[in-house]
Amino acid sequence: MPGVEIDRLEVLRALLAGEAISRAGARHQGDLTPLGGVRLQDLDLHDVEEQLLARTDLTDLVVLGGALSPALTVHLVRHGAIVFPSDPQAPLNVYRSQTYTADELYAGLDGPDGYPGTLDGRTYAWTTDRRSEHDAYATMLRAIHDESITDALDDRLDGLPVVGVMGGHAVQRGSNVYAAAARLGFELAEAGVVVATGGGPGAMEAANLGAYARSFPTLQKAMVALGSRPSYQSDVRAWAQTAFSARASLGVRGPDDPLRSVGIPTWFYGHEPPNVFGQAIAKYFSNALREDGLLARCTHGVVVLPGSAGTVQEIFQAATRVFYQRMPEGPAGRGSPPLILVGRTHWTRTLPVWPALQTLARSTPSGRMVQSLHLVDTPGQAAAIVTGRHTSGS
């Protein structure tokens, strides 16, 4: 039964009870299903230990982390299973089957160690520890973690329309640029799309905040409160605590609320803490996987706010996808998702990216890339393009 991943105990129980499980997770009653080829991810196997000890058809069963007794471990390995144990030196569960929440990443923020004592802070320290920097085992664990997070993110975004919002991390709370990015996030989410950002501070936080908010008046009040701590650079703990307070004033969104706001940050930029306004946070060790994965999920477009080196890199990553027609399929009848640069002066004079994009676009057959590119002055104009209220390019 190759290729079946199980990350819920009830699905494993059904399999052990004789229900066949398809690759998509559907069940039907049938003969006893062999366990060879099944992947068990992050499961506590103590409650099904008796059933597993009774099975010997275990060749190529893979157990990724979770909890199991020494006796079960020996039995599984003896009969051909592969068991990847958890590493007590790793500060996080590398086999996790769900995206993170801000509460998880910032757990311990109010403790004596502050931000360095949180899961997020400890994980960043692990990535910079010279003892693990060139450790093949640690490298493998980080790769497994990123693959697990990719699967979890796919599950959360499955079938949902997604718009990526890119922008600089240095944008400060209380600024006009921050307010405009927040309004953009709110308008996009109100139009029914999921707003996905790089998950960090600055313009990314603003867009996630706007998407998270339930109403524009409450969003405005939250921005006023956030303005008391304009930047994370002097005190990450105070910056994050202010954000949690603002989030509480907006009404904490539960797991059953519609998904509107997603953050996809990275420990590669460890000096940039994640913002707390993503309902789902998919944090990566690999920045390359994180950036490409974000763009690959932007089914309804990418909006780029003014930024610097990292933002420029993201623009050309998106442009490369558009050039080679590797962007996800756009809305019906609209062709490729739009790539929208906001800030005419910034992208034509301060960092003249737009002329290069236009030159590149004109070299594509039938002008398909030209039709995807837009240069606008305001985030509101970008939102209008994405939501279909305005379709002409620049």
Residues 96-111 pLDDT 10s: 999 999 999 999 999 9
371: pLDDT strictly greater than 80? yes
In a domain, 220, yes or no: yes
**Domain co-membership, 25 together with 158:** no
In tens, the pLDDT along 181-202 reads 999 999 999 999 999 999 999 9
Q: How confident is the model at residue 391 (pLDDT cuts 50, 70, 90)?
A: very low
**Domain co-membership, 76 together with 191:** no
In a domain, 108, yes or no: no
CA of residue 390 relative to chain centroid, distance: 28
Question: What is the structure's pLDDT at 322?
Answer: 87
Between CA 386 and CA 161 the distance in angstroms is 11
Sequence-distant (≥ 6) Cβ neighbours of residue 75 within 8 angstroms: 52, 53
In a domain, 219, yes or no: yes
Q: 3-state class of 83 per DSSP?
A: strand
29: pLDDT strictly greater than 70? no
Mean pLDDT of 254-283: 94
From the number of C-beta atoms within 10 Å of its C-beta (0-12, 13-18, 19+), residue 339 rates as buried
Question: What is the structure's pLDDT at 202?
Answer: 96
Between CA 51 and CA 55 the distance in angstroms is 7
User: Which DSSP state fits 284?
Assistant: B
Q: Count of alpha carbons within 13 Å of 18, Cβ hemisphere only?
A: 3
Task: Give the domain range for residue 254.
Answer: 150-386
In a domain, 239, yes or no: yes
CA 353, 283, 41, 104: dihedral to nearest 10 degrees?
Answer: -160
In a domain, 91, yes or no: no
Q: How confident is the model at residue 393 (pLDDT cuts 50, 70, 90)?
A: very low
Residue 158 contacts residue 197 (beta carbons within 8 Å) = no
Q: Count of alpha carbons within 13 Å of 343, Cβ hemisphere only?
A: 19
In tens, the pLDDT along 112-154 reads 999 999 999 999 999 988 777 778 888 999 999 999 999 999 9
Question: What is the structure's pLDDT at 136?
Answer: 87
Domain boundary among 84, 109, 141: 84
Between CA 110 and CA 313 the distance in angstroms is 35
Between CA 301 and CA 144 the distance in angstroms is 29
**Domain co-membership, 215 together with 345:** yes
pTM: 0.89
**Domain co-membership, 165 together with 30:** no
The one-letter code for the residue type at 327 is M
Mean pLDDT of 27-31: 47
Sequence-distant (≥ 6) Cβ neighbours of residue 143 within 8 angstroms: 285, 286
**Domain co-membership, 199 together with 282:** yes
Q: Please tell me which residue, 252 or 52, carries the higher pLDDT value.
A: 52
**Domain co-membership, 319 together with 192:** yes
**Domain co-membership, 68 together with 161:** no
**Domain co-membership, 282 together with 205:** yes
Q: State the average pLDDT for the chain.
A: 90
Domain boundary among 33, 68, 84: 84
In a domain, 90, yes or no: no
**Domain co-membership, 64 together with 164:** no
Question: What is the structure's pLDDT at 86?
Answer: 82
Mean pLDDT of 203-211: 98
In tens, the pLDDT along 309-350 reads 989 999 999 999 888 877 776 555 556 799 999 999 999 999
**Domain co-membership, 364 together with 286:** yes
Q: Give the count of domains, the chain.
A: 2
CATH code for the domain of 334: 3.40.50.450
In a domain, 98, yes or no: no
Domain boundary among 69, 84, 99: 84
**Domain co-membership, 229 together with 378:** yes
In tens, the pLDDT along 150-164 reads 999 999 999 999 999
**Domain co-membership, 218 together with 314:** yes
The one-letter code for the residue type at 382 is A
In a domain, 65, yes or no: yes
